[in-house]
Chains A and B, each alone.
Chain A
């Protein structure tokens, strides 16, 4: 199957997935106890005010009618108003999504770089002390949830008598004109290197807290795949031809060994966005993940649906990218499995 046909097919299938998940979330969100209009306006709001809001939100209609209104809005680029922030959800998304994306992309860089590095080191020195160190780190990394690490980072680097500002995206007092919403890019566009450095350091700790667990588990996957492949006949043949060992390692061993790691990596990275909420809360990071959690706690129906939709799209995009990358790494794997 050609790349073009593959992409079209995957995108069409993805639409179905999005539709299905949006219906599911739409229904589940309505099972959370409490009348959303009452929750939004407060216990003591007059009944007229609650009725007016319920009417505006079509809360009195059956769920499928509500869903109809919602999906119509989505196709027109209108995600409704948030009950919590009292603004159009689309504005909230524009504000908060770049923060989370920046964090997730930065964590992904950590994950990819260090996973390959540690995986190679562990293979190269298998069963010797570097391998053991990495293994122990892997156990700790996988066992320790990101939010625990985040709390530790904040306590160690943020509080203990230092004046390091680890919270938020920029040190209070530094302002940068918002263009893309990605702080690293915006600071560069503004030509403000000091702010760029500040944004970079603010990004490091939360990204690392998020990256730690997937990073080490990927390293372990790479290590075991490399060890599996090591004794394959073709490698022995390559060595027999006199190809230098280092070249064999890099070109013929690492490349096929990356495939299982990359498949899980796709899921890991997509999951980062959803899992980021605790890390975002701890680092006061104004991201979409934290926003989504608040939305669920406040039964902010439009915001919940929007966040789920966005995470769904993220998952799909990342998985398509992974499929394409895997097929490039190993041409024997045909796109779409045909």
Chain B
């Protein structure tokens, strides 16, 4: 039959095409690189991969991917520089009244948004109203802020319902949108006269004033941004070699990233590659690894409403069973030892508290004092970790093994994260031991104290020790309401001592963030880390691409 002959011939052609195809494009003119914006031998482009597509709306974005876009495309009034000091962005000066309930910001003049409209106090007032009304993302940080009022064309005033000491630390999480752009693009929605508040439009477009502007949004693939030529900060001098184009790609499958980085399509990896993947990437020519401590502390929360972890001596015994040095130095290379669930990068952090060293003897002594001294063998202690972070099984096994040596039976269950979040909704369903990463949401320990230990925040995965302690709540409230910096820090230290005594949680190790990058880019936080300088704390701002260079 003719058809079969044709089929055979076609098959052969396909087979040949395939074999040729796999090698051929190596010589093709535009493989891997586009031609625009050449500086030196490399295109002036930095592309980074992330675990998901960014939520680019400043009123709802809050994860790593989103914060990279927000830091580059939008601007807050102030942010933190690499040293951790406040840095003026859209504001130039800020002052507060004595009680710390009114904060006035002088705004920068001569700033234009990407649509060309001028930045004024109206934009700040509108952005804040939008941010609070939508109530997603980091809006919860602004619970105490009652209103944002226009003082004059270039000044705004925030009015707080009660004094809130760390107020300036949360301001960087509030990004300004152009009122004109958003109003021009609103659709029908549930926010009354504001329709959908421009939410649908802002999924794929931007309304910011930052150094980069979104030029293309490819659903479930990537966001591409180009330099905003009229950026108020300018592009001359030290910024001349900053990338012309940046992209955030929304998937980070290990073998894909390896291929993308070796063929020059991606210049900066995500921080979630496994140690094995990082090692493979490190072996490739032209790829380096940056290891920087981030503010995550891998933590084991202990459920205080469930036997036997309701007993403080039993909890302390568990704390003595963790081999901290092995975790930080052997299993999770690049990490550092933790003494509490708090990151050493946060203001208010102290090591001057009771710490628990790895010692079976000490664990036995605590166990002897516990009310379960005679009966602990009857209990099975449940421990969960998220199956999405398989490396945590090693942590769990390490703890289980040392517990077994003194007769404590720990049952490990790898659990999908969605199920863990459900488990965290009640003390009965929360396991005895709950392994999770805790992160400060602003650069002060008050952030963690409130999120992770205040009873007002119970029922979430961040707060699974179920502490019912009015005294502790009062201490946290009092510290957060203290305006004087030094006094506030002292109060933070007292609370940390209290938490350590009660042993509601065990900080396992401080997470070292490992990111692969190509060696022809200047990666500011990496260079600072190499020089022993501090690195930025602000999520997203370690990838503030205007400070990058393509060499």
Partners in one complex: yes
**Chain A residues near B (Cβ < 8 Å):** 32-34, 39, 41-46, 48-49, 52, 55-56, 85-87, 91-92, 95-96, 109-110, 112-114, 116-117, 120, 151, 154-155, 157-168, 171-174, 194, 198, 200-201, 204-205, 208, 250-251, 254, 281-284, 286, 290-291, 294, 299
With known contacts A42-B62, A164-B23, A198-B25, A286–B422 Cβ distance under 8 A: no
Pairs A–B under 8 Å by Cβ, sample size 18: A33-B419, A33-B422, A39-B421, A43-B460, A46-B135, A46-B140, A86-B55, A92-B220, A95-B220, A116-B4, A162-B263, A165-B265, A172-B265, A174-B30, A250-B1, A250-B4, A281-B256, A282-B256
Q: Is B221 at the interface (CB under 8 A from chain A)?
A: yes
Shortest Cβ distance from A201 into B: residue: B21
Q: Is B368 at the interface (CB under 8 A from chain A)?
A: no
Residues from chain B with Cβ under 8 Å of A116 in the complex: 4, 7
Q: Do the beta carbons of A204 and B17 come within 8 Å of each other?
A: yes
Q: Is B97 at the interface (CB under 8 A from chain A)?
A: no
Q: Do the beta carbons of A164 and B35 come within 8 Å of each other?
A: no
**Size bracket of the B interface:** 35 or more
Q: Output the least CB separation between A211 and chain B (Å).
A: 11
Residues from chain A with Cβ under 8 Å of B274 in the complex: none
Q: Output the least CB separation between A300 and chain B (Å).
A: 12
| Interface flags, B16-42, vs A, CB<8A=1, else 0 | 011001111110101111110000000
The complex places the Cα of A228 from the Cα of B460 at a distance, in Å, of 64
With known contacts A159-B262, A294-B220, A85–B23 Cβ distance under 8 A: no
Q: Do the beta carbons of A95 and B219 come within 8 Å of each other?
A: yes
Q: Do the beta carbons of B14 and A113 come within 8 Å of each other?
A: yes
With known contacts A33-B419, A113-B14, A159-B258, A87–B265 Cβ distance under 8 A: no
Residues from chain B with Cβ under 8 Å of A55 in the complex: 190
Q: Do the beta carbons of B263 and A281 come within 8 Å of each other?
A: no
B255 touches which of A151, A171, A200 (Cβ 8 Å) = A151
Shortest Cβ distance from B451 into A: residue: A44
Q: Output the least CB separation between A115 and chain B (Å).
A: 10
Q: Output the least CB separation between B25 and chain A (Å).
A: 5
Q: Do the beta carbons of A167 and B18 come within 8 Å of each other?
A: no
Q: What 8 A-B pairs come out closest when comparing CB atoms?
A: A173-B34, A158-B259, A46-B135, A49-B135, A33-B422, A113-B11, A44-B140, A201-B21
Residues from chain B with Cβ under 8 Å of A157 in the complex: 22
New A-B pairs, 18, CB < 8 Å, besides A91-B219, A172-B32? A33-B416, A49-B136, A52-B190, A96-B220, A113-B10, A113-B11, A154-B255, A159-B259, A162-B263, A163-B264, A164-B25, A165-B263, A167-B259, A200-B17, A201-B24, A201-B25, A208-B18, A250-B4
Q: Is B53 at the interface (CB under 8 A from chain A)?
A: yes
Residues from chain A with Cβ under 8 Å of B140 in the complex: 44-46
With known contacts A33-B418, A173-B30, A284–B251 Cβ distance under 8 A: yes
With known contacts A34-B418, A281-B251, A286–B26 Cβ distance under 8 A: no
The complex places the Cα of A161 from the Cα of B380 at a distance, in Å, of 52
Q: Chain A interface mostly helix, strand, loop or mixed?
A: helix
With known contacts A43-B461, A45-B140, A164–B256 Cβ distance under 8 A: no
The complex places the Cα of A200 from the Cα of B10 at a distance, in Å, of 15
Q: Do the beta carbons of B136 and A42 come within 8 Å of each other?
A: yes
Residues from chain B with Cβ under 8 Å of A34 in the complex: 418, 421-422
Q: Output the least CB separation between A157 and chain B (Å).
A: 5
The complex places the Cα of A155 from the Cα of B139 at a distance, in Å, of 43
The complex places the Cα of A245 from the Cα of B33 at a distance, in Å, of 55
Q: Do the beta carbons of B219 and A164 come within 8 Å of each other?
A: no
Residues from chain B with Cβ under 8 Å of A91 in the complex: 219
Residues from chain A with Cβ under 8 Å of B462 in the complex: 43
Shortest Cβ distance from A168 into B: residue: B221
Q: Do the beta carbons of A200 and B21 come within 8 Å of each other?
A: yes
With known contacts A41-B136, A95-B220, A110–B62 Cβ distance under 8 A: no
Residues from chain A with Cβ under 8 Å of B255 in the complex: 151, 154-155, 159, 282
The complex places the Cα of A204 from the Cα of B24 at a distance, in Å, of 13
Q: Do the beta carbons of A167 and B260 come within 8 Å of each other?
A: yes
Residues from chain A with Cβ under 8 Å of B53 in the complex: 85
A161 touches which of B34, B52, B262 (Cβ 8 Å) = B262
Q: Is B199 at the interface (CB under 8 A from chain A)?
A: yes
Q: Do the beta carbons of B219 and A45 come within 8 Å of each other?
A: no
The complex places the Cα of A191 from the Cα of B520 at a distance, in Å, of 36
Q: Output the least CB separation between A56 and chain B (Å).
A: 6
Q: Output the least CB separation between A158 and chain B (Å).
A: 3
Shortest Cβ distance from A283 into B: residue: B256
Q: Output the least CB separation between A225 and chain B (Å).
A: 15
Q: Do the beta carbons of B259 and A113 come within 8 Å of each other?
A: no
Q: Output the least CB separation between B42 and chain A (Å).
A: 13
The complex places the Cα of A286 from the Cα of B419 at a distance, in Å, of 28
Q: Is B200 at the interface (CB under 8 A from chain A)?
A: yes
